[in-house]
Structure 1
Amino acid sequence: MTKIFRFFLCVFLLGVAGCTGVPENVAPVQNFQLDRYLGTWYEIARLDHSFERGLSRVTAEYSRNPDGSVRVVNRGYSREQDKWKQAEGRATFVDREDTGHLQVSFFGPFYASYVIVELDKDYQYALVSGYSKSYLWILSRTPSLPQGTVSALVQRAAELGYPTERLIFVDQAAAPALP
């Protein structure tokens, strides 16, 4: 192997590994119970990214695969294209199963972090991050949350250094029923 090839291989591997890390000064929840987390979650707010741009009625459904990994189905409605979009992926724990830090893949061997930063004791709402502070979601078991709860989650995210002024609040009512 040439030195240049080894260099690029190391850079690539570090880049891929960095995508499953945890942002600075952020810690995943402990005493996490996957079975309580499974089911449907509604996206209340998010930081903008191309893979969700323009989508309303966004949900994420989590269930167990036969191999013990987590099946992830994300759905959202594109008003511009007048159609539902869906992405299916697979998640596994990065380390311990009682720590809310998973890695999710929608594209073969490439994984990205799914870090549960805050989680209601009854598993009714969550604050979720990616590997960097440019990825953030507020999720709920219902299509809406009380404003006080949303404000508290936004405040917590701001304290952790997320750019909360850029949050997009998701319209959960503006779409036809799923086909």
Structure 2
Amino acid sequence: MRTPIRIWAALALIPALHGCAGNARPMPPVAAVDLPRFMGAWYVIAHVPSPPEREAFDAVESYRLDRDGRVLTTFTYRKGSHDAPLKTMKPTGFVRPGTGNAVWGMQFVWPIKAEYVIAYLDADYTQTIVARSKRDYAWIMARTPTLPEADYRRLSQRLVELGYRAEAIRRVPQASAAAGPDRATGTAEGERP
């Protein structure tokens, strides 16, 4: 990652860190997450975006456990259109002990770990909501690039029930699944998973 991108990521996360403490009502996590089952590619269907994601297209978050139990993350997206160059971020997730694997500290820049709460996860591990206590950023994700409209409405409503404003939710434009194998793995073109 280039240094200016690291600086931008750090600056974007500074206000987010205030959501980890203070007067914010804690985001309720799911009871338990089977980490190996949660790994893999997740398409970002909608979000309450962080600054770098405000014009995201084709966003995919992909997770892989390393030997130390850290979650190696690859987030790819295109800024402004389906034809824009692919951008990549590679934060590391640190699962917080005693949370049933549902609360992570996501580190973009050392030593900052931003709160990352798995607030909803369906039984089949095909749909999830990741949220934060500050209700500043959130992600509705699925294993497929699109969801049935009823599922999208249900998950959006759940995000509102968790304390987010409906008008802050942005649907992420996703190219069809025919966009190629690089999109399905969450890796940049030419990069090995």
TM range (shorter): 0.7 to 0.9
State the partner residue of 2:140: 138
Amino acid at match of 2:148: P
Question: 1:82: how far off?
Answer: 2.6
Of Structure 1 and Structure 2, which has the larger fraction of its residues in strand? Answer: 1
Q: What residue in structure 2 maps to residue 129 of structure 1?
A: 131
Worse-matched range after superposition: 28-37 or 71-80: 71-80
Q: Structure 1 residue 153: deviation in Å?
A: 1.0
- Name the SS for the 1:107 alignment partner: coil
Return the alpha-carbon distance in structure 2 between the equivalents of residues 96 and 59 of structure 1.
Answer: 28
Identity of aligned residues (%): 28
**Cα shift readout 1:61-103 (whole Å, capped 9, x = no counterpart):** 0001232211011000124693111000111112326241111
The answer (yes or no) to whether the contact 1:20–1:112 under 8 Å persists in 2 is yes
Shift of 1:173: 0.9
State the secondary structure of the residue aligned to 1:86.
strand
Map residues 7-156 of structure 1 onto 2, 5 A cutoff.
Answer: 18-20=18-20, 24=25, 26-79=27-80, 82-96=84-98, 98-156=100-158
CA, structure 1 residues 26+147, in 2 after alignment: closer, same or farther (shift >3 Å)? Answer: same
- When the two structures are superposed, what TM-score results if normalisation uses the length of structure 1? 0.82
Residue 104 of structure 1 aligns to which amino acid in structure 2?
Answer: M
AA in 2 matched with 1:159: E
Q: CA deviation at 1:50?
A: 1.2
Query: Higher helix share goes to which structure?
Result: 2
Mapped contact 1:16–1:110 kept (Cα < 8 A):
no
Structure 1 unaligned segments of length 5 or more: list them.
1-14
Moved more, 93-102 or 18-27: 18-27
Match of 1:5 in 2: none
| RMSD, matched Cα | 2.5
* Aligned position for 1:164: 166
Q: How many residues align?
A: 165
Q: Separation in 1 of the partners of 2:135 and 2:17?
A: 16
Match of 1:6 in 2: none
> Which stretches in structure 2 are left out of the alignment for 5+ residues?
1-14, 183-188
What is the TM-score with the length of structure 2 in the denominator? Answer: 0.76
One-letter code of the match for 2:65? R
